Amino acid sequence: MPGLLNIENLRIDFKMRHGQVRAVEDVSLIVEPGECVGIVGESGCGKTTTGLAIMRLLAGNGRISAGSIEFEGADLAQLSERQMQTFRGNNVALIPQDPLTSLNPTTKIGVQIGEGFRLHRGVSAKDAEKRAIEVLEMVEMPRPKERLAQYPFELSGGLRQRVMIAMGLVCEPKLLIADEPTTALDVTIQAQILDIFDQLRTTLNMAVILITHDMGVIAGRTDRVVVMYAGKVAEEAPTVELFKEMRHPYTQALLASVPSIETATKVKLRNIPGVPPDLSKVITCCRFAPRCLNATDECREQDPEFTIESEQHRYACFHPIDGPAPLEVQTQSDNVARVLAAEEIVSVSGLVKEFPIRRGILKRQVGKVHAVSDVSFTIHNGETFGLVGESGCGKTTIGRLIVGLEDATAGQIIFEGNDVSRARGSKARASRKDRQMMFQDPYSSLNPRMRVREIIREPLAVQHLGSKREQNQRVDELMLAVGLDPKAGERHPHEFSGGQRQRIGLARALALNPKLIVADEPVSALDVSIQAQILNLMKELQAERGVSYVMVSHDLAVVYYMADTIGVMYLGKLVEIGDAESVFRTPAHPYTQGLLDAVPIPDPVEARRRTAVRVAGELPSAANPPSGCRFRTRCPRVQDVCATEEPPLDAFGITHWAACHFPLQQKVDIAPRDASSVQPG
C-alpha cells in the first residue's frame, strides 16, 4: 500500500453523559514521505481529533471504533499502549497548539528536550544535552546553549514554540503533526516557524500534517489539502488545484470569509450562516446542507458519496461549485476625507507608561519596563483606528490607558475635550462609561458564575441607569443587536461557543452606548467563518451608532479590513501612522514592510511567487530598549546614525508619517501649519 501514513475509514467516538458523539466518521487520508498535508476546517470539525488518533492520545472517553491507521505497514489502532510508547517520538511527533501549557513549568528546557532522546535511545544525560543543543540550533533558537538552563516562563511565545518543535525533532521522526502551531503568534514569528518546517522537510525528508483554520498558511505551505466538516472529509485536492478549482461550497465559503490585503477587499465578508450540526445525533443527510445556499431536497435527505474528479481531487457534494466566489473589490479612498472632516473624539499626546521591575524580599525597584514611550495620535468620530505590531510592542497597554484601566506615567489623553488621564474617583468612573473595552479572551473576561443577562446588565447597574425592568429591556435589545436570542440570557458563559462569547463581550461593551470601544484582538482565537461574522457585526454597529473603534491586533489583514487609520507600534514607539491605504500599499518604515511580507496570502500561486524579506530575531527587552532607533537591531537598512539618533516622524503624504532615517519612500515637504492638522498628536 502506498504512502508513509495510510488512514482508512477512520471512525472515532466519544462517550458523553448525554450519549455518544461521533467526532470523526469515515475519514481516509494518505501522507507521503516529505509531503506537507494540510487539514483545515472550523473548530469541532475533527481535524485535531484525527491528529490525536494517529498518536493514540485521545481522551479517556474517546476510542477508535472503526477503520485503520497504518504507518509503514503497522496498524497503530491495534498496537498496545506499551508498543505506542516506543512508537511516539521515534516515528511520529506532535506539536500541540499551546506550548506554554504543554511544557513542564518546573523543569528546565534542556531536560525536557533531552528526555525523549534518553528514553528512546538509552543515551547518557551528557549525550542528551548535546542532542538538545543540536535540535535547538536546527530550529534557529538564539543562543541555544543558554536556553538549556531556562524555564518555559522565561521564554517568549515564539521561543517556546521552537522548544516544542525541538522536542518533536529530537529523535528525527518521519512524520510531524503540527496542531495550530502558529495561531497565537505574531505574523513575523509565525513566518519564521513555518520557514523552519519547510527547511526540515527538505533536510530530513520528513512528512508534516499541518492542522489549522488559517487559509493563508494552508495556501503557502502545503502540498495537499483535506477540508473537514462536522467529522467528515468534504473535499481533498492538491493545494493549487483546490484554491483554483474548488468544488465544495464549504471550501468556497471558508476562503470567502478571509479578509485579504492582496485583494484590497473592503466589502462585507461572506460569513457562513448557522452552526455545525450536533454530532451526538445520527446524521443521514449532507452535513453542510442546513448552512449551504445551494442545498436542495436531495441534500437534506441523502449523504453524498465522493466524486473523483482527478487522481488526487475528490469531493462529497450533489451540487458542486466551479472555483472561488467572484471577487468583490472596493477601496475606500474617500475614507481619508470623511475621517478628517469628522470631529476629534480622542487626542493622545506624549503618552508614556512605565512598569516598575521589583526584586528581593523588600520588592525594591531595580528597573523599568518602557511599555509606551512618547506616543501621540488622534481619533475622530466614527473612525476605526488600528494598532498593529508584535506582542510586547505596547499596543494593548495603549488601549488599556485609553479606557482608564491603567494610569499613564506621563502625557495626556483628551477625550471629548476632557483630560481623562488625570481623572480620579467617581469622576473617573463616570467618564469611563463612554469608553469601553472588548477583551482578547471573552471566556476569561466573563464571570463564569453569572448568567449572561446579569453580565450584560452589570454596567447599567454600576452606573445606576434605569430600573431593573428597563435594564432588562436594554439587555434584550443588545442581545438582538449582536445576533443572540434574548432567551439565552439565562445561560452561563460556558454554554456558548467562542463566537457567541465574543458577541456577549460586544453586547456588554455596547451596554452604556459608548462613543469609543477598544477591541483587543477580538477575533484572534476564532475560526475564519466566525471571525467574519464578528467583523461584519462590528462594522454594521459602527454604521448604525457612529461608535469609534481602536482595533488592536497582530493580524494585519483584519486590521486593514476594519481600519481607516493605522498606527504601527514597535517596542513602545509609534514608528508609522497614516490612512490604511498609504500604510499598507506604500509603507515607509522597514518594520511595516516586514510585517506585511510575513502576512500569509490565501493564494498558493501568489504565496509561492512572493519574495519577502523576513524580520529576523526576537523583540528586544522593553526593560532595556536599544539606543537611537529601537528597530535597528533587526533592521536590514541599519547604519551608524541609527544607533545614536532617534528618528523623528517625517511626512510621506498628507496623512502618512513614519520615523526612519532610511525610509522606503520619498519624504514630502508639508508646511508646519498644514502638518499640524494631520500630524498625529
pLDDT for 174: 92
The distance of Cα 286 from the centroid of its chain, to the nearest Å, equals 30
Mean of the pLDDT values across residues 424-445?
A: 77
CATH H superfamily, domain 335-434+515-678: P-loop containing nucleotide triphosphate hydrolases (3.40.50.300)
Three-class DSSP category at 491: coil
Q: Give the burial string for 293-305 (b: 16+ CB within 10 Å, else e).
A: eebeeebeeebbe
Mean of the pLDDT values across residues 322-348?
A: 70
What's the average model confidence in pLDDT over 37-58? 91
| 87: helix, strand or coil | helix
pLDDT reported for residue 2: 65
pLDDT of residue 678: 47
- List the 207-212 sheet strands across, edge first: 92-95, 175-179, 207-212, 36-40, 224-229, 232-238, 314-315, 307-308
Residue 140 has pLDDT above 90, yes or no: no
Nearest to 590 by CA among 641, 648, 646, 634: 634
pLDDT band with cut points at 50, 70 and 90 for residue 397 = very high
How remote is the C-alpha of 139 from its chain's centroid? 22
Confidence of residue 428 (pLDDT cuts 50, 70, 90): low
- Per-residue pLDDT for 679 more than 90? no
CB-CB contact of 505 with 438 (8 Å): yes
CA distances from 222 to 37, 158, 231, 519 (A): 6, 21, 21, 32
For 233, the 3-state DSSP assignment is strand
Task: Please state, rounded to an integer, the average pLDDT across all residues of the chain.
Answer: 87
* Residue 445 reports pLDDT greater than 90: no
Query: So what's the pLDDT on residue 331?
Result: 47
Confidence of residue 676 (pLDDT cuts 50, 70, 90): very low
Q: Whose grid coordinates read 446524521?
A: 283
Q: Does the pLDDT of residue 358 top 80, yes or no?
A: yes
Residue 38 near residue 221, CB atoms below 8 Å: yes
Q: Is 73 exposed, middle or buried (0-12, 13-18, 19+ CB in 10 A)?
A: exposed
Nearest Cα to 479, choosing from 450, 449, 501? Answer: 501
Mean of the pLDDT values across residues 14-24?
Answer: 86
Kindly state the average pLDDT of the residues 501-517.
88
The two beta strands, 74-75 and 307-308, are unpaired
Within the chain, all domains assigned CATH 3.40.50.300 are found at 335-434+515-678
Grid cell listed for 480: 438582538
Is residue 439 very low, low, confident or very high in pLDDT (cuts 50, 70, 90)? confident
Residue 89 has pLDDT above 50, yes or no: yes
Residue 268 neighbours by CB distance under 10 Å: 14
Task: Give the pLDDT of residue 425.
Answer: 64
Among residues 239, 191, 248, 241, the alpha carbon closest in space to that of 218 is found at 239
Checking if the pLDDT of 673 tops 70, the result is no
- What is the rounded CA–CA span in Å between residue 459 and residue 509? 9
What pLDDT shows up at residue 261? Answer: 77
Q: Edge-to-edge strands of the sheet including 74-75?
A: 19-31, 5-16, 62-71, 74-75
Residue written as cell 469609534? 548
pTM of the model: 0.84
The residue to which cell 446588565 is assigned: 457
CA distance 242 to 463: 53
Using a pLDDT cut of 70, give the percent of the chain over it. Answer: 93
Least confident of 184-193, 195-204, 308-317, 420-429: 420-429
Q: Which residue type sits at 469?
A: R
> Is residue 539 over pLDDT 60?
yes
**CA–CA dist 680, 666 (Å, integer):** 19
Determine the Cα angle at 287 with ends 281 and 292, to 5°: 140
The pLDDT of residue 674 is 40
pLDDT for 17 beyond 80: no
Ranked by mean pLDDT, the top range of 99-113, 142-156, 225-239, 667-681 is: 225-239
Is it the case that residue 361 has pLDDT exceeding 60? yes
103: how many CB neighbours lie within 10 A of its CB? 20
Least confident of 124-128, 256-260, 404-408: 256-260
- What is the structure's pLDDT at 675? 39
Contacts of 511 (CB under 8 A, 6+ apart): 436, 456, 457, 459, 460, 474, 475, 478
**525 — pLDDT class (breaks 50, 70, 90):** low
Amino acid at 510: L
Give the β-pairing of 650-653 and 656-658. antiparallel
621 — pLDDT class (breaks 50, 70, 90) = confident
